[in-house]
Structure 1
């Protein structure tokens, strides 16, 4: 069961003043765990699946609403959602690569790293991990052996596994404020990552009638560059919902947020953003939020990682 909050109806205000974050071409880095990952992502299937780009920090209004100001420091964010091929390297090293206490922390947020009490929420071994990735017979992207799905986004990943992967990859889950900032273009306060144009199938992967149709989740970046965010991230709207660090709660949406995250359980699960192939266009807005139980493995959930300077 998942939990929606009725926030998509909040009016969008285009706020001037201050410096907007600039367009940044994604910089391709050799990330720590990408030695075996083929460059098969993006619209031509030739880009590095391990690309990331800097998001230049600043001030903005969460949910495009002046009641919720925030400041975000500079950070790096994966250009693509984590692919099956990238996740395969994590599976190969499991369970020796389980997070150590405190791993995957945001350097400016105390208490944001791995809690050893969460160890019990991870699969016991490699076989159990692979079994957990088979959450949906029709829509799972994982295959136990390499296949044509290597550049598809990995799904059926719980919040705990998403956190563990990013920590192993020497990164972390982005905070909800960071994710929102990247998707909305900072103080550009965009309605969608690509701008204010209404969603279409040329811009995002969404709207599959999963009750009657088996819709394969396409290669990451298939709608790039038209659907990219201002800092070069693909699929910030559509494809898969992306786990964020925060609990899904109202607590951190009051007052000023300076590199903040909601670390107290408000009873609505962990947060995620971005919409999915199986959901309607209402979830694609940069003001749309959803919460889900962190132990859930769902075919419409995936991840991307953040890193610090």
Structure 2
């Protein structure tokens, strides 16, 4: 795969008792972010709820806390350049993409149903990508029971900015974090959807053929980014370090930060897992994904602790699929 540049994305931070560290990519110091190049659309088909799993959940999402957290918006298919690089065009069919990143409130229902919410073999498949469903060999990558699942929702690190709480509370509208790729896949399959492909998520964020640098950009050349558009770089906190108080409810920057198809937080918030293994972009891409041969899965969009450059549509990042981190979450796709 041709790479125009690889640079270190960072912004200085200082942590009490620790000293200075950096915000880079997925929030780990000195992690390289690969920028895949540089650089017209469609409209939304109107929102729907993602499925019966949302019955009974309070309508508390969006900028005024009066939208369904399960809302999904139609992405009208077409062709755009992956990572805004004309060397890598891709075509996607129409699909629905959740308006919001999966919240703690939505994820709590999955946890309450566990282990009955574990996916069956073949579940969560993209209907036009053979072999994209749940693989029975991944079973051991999921906790065996609810007790073990709960232990893992506090991440695999000493960081404390996870959003999970054992009882419902103030975090229910936050994007669920600390979920591995396997858990993200399992949730979307249980929720009646699937993980979006990298091509799909990139298409939605770029506004299709408009090739927006950011989801909210008015043109391919407009790169305005400020606190009205996205949650990033610790939300501009004046606290010495990134803390849970820097997290905001999903859709807080809507509608200013929405993409063409009305999804919120396609840049900033949390990094979002995609179906794809990280690797070279497949050529002649029509409803395609990299489903074999990798060791790390692609994530898109930047997160609440990421530097501004990580939010650009030209940026990719990737992690081993077992990774659980406070900067990673999920958004589900589904069929029209």
TM-score (normalizing by structure 2): 0.85
User: Per the alignment, in what secondary structure is the counterpart of residue 144 of structure 2?
Assistant: coil
Alpha-carbon contact 1:242-1:304 (below 8 Å) kept: yes
1:177-213 deviation digits (Å, cap 9, x = unpaired) = 0000000011000000001332111100000279724
- Give 1:234's match in structure 2, choosing from 264, 274, 283: 264
- Give 1:270's match in structure 2, choosing from 297, 308, 316: 297
Alpha-carbon contact 1:4-1:289 (below 8 Å) kept: no
Alignment of 1:223-302 (within 5 A): 223-250=253-280, 253-267=281-295, 269-302=296-329
Q: Which runs of 5+ in 1 are unaligned?
A: 13-19
Alpha-carbon contact 1:272-1:291 (below 8 Å) kept: yes
Alpha-carbon contact 2:91-2:286 (below 8 Å) kept: yes
Question: How far has the Cα of 1:23 moved from its partner?
Answer: 3.0
Does 2:57 match 1:34? Answer: no
- Give 1:48's match in structure 2, choosing from 65, 68, 89: 68
Alpha-carbon contact 1:151-1:219 (below 8 Å) kept: yes
* Count of aligned positions: 298
- Structure 1 residues 115-124 or 258-267, which shifts more? 258-267
- Give 2:212's match in structure 1, choosing from 185, 190, 201: 190
Q: Hey, what's the Cα distance between the residues in 2 that align with 1:4 and 1:76?
A: 32
Question: How far has the Cα of 1:4 moved from its partner?
Answer: 4.2
Q: Which runs of 5+ in 2 are unaligned?
A: 1-25
User: Per the alignment, in what secondary structure is the counterpart of residue 184 of structure 2?
Assistant: helix
Q: Hey, what's the Cα distance between the residues in 1 that align with 2:216 and 2:258?
A: 6
User: Per the alignment, in what secondary structure is the counterpart of residue 53 of structure 2?
Assistant: coil
- Note the aligned Cα RMSD (angstroms): 1.7
CA distance 1:122–1:289, shift in 2 (3 Å): same
1:265-291 deviation digits (Å, cap 9, x = unpaired) = 333x10110000111011101111000
User: Per the alignment, in what secondary structure is the counterpart of residue 33 of structure 1?
Assistant: helix
Instruction: Give every structure 1 segment of 4 or more consecutive aligned residues whose post-TM-superposition deviation is greater than 6 Å.
Output: none
- Structure 1 residues 257-266 or 156-165, which shifts more? 257-266
Q: Hey, what's the Cα distance between the residues in 2 that align with 1:263 and 1:301?
A: 20
1:23-50 deviation digits (Å, cap 9, x = unpaired) = 3264132622001311111001111101
Q: Hey, what's the Cα distance between the residues in 1 that align with 2:166 and 2:59?
A: 20
TM-score (normalizing by structure 1): 0.92
User: Per the alignment, in what secondary structure is the counterpart of residue 40 of structure 1?
Assistant: coil
- Give 2:194's match in structure 1, choosing from 160, 172, 181: 172
Alpha-carbon contact 1:67-1:254 (below 8 Å) kept: no
Question: How far has the Cα of 1:66 moved from its partner?
Answer: 1.4
- Give 2:99's match in structure 1, choosing from 75, 79, 89: 79
CA distance 1:110–1:211, shift in 2 (3 Å): farther
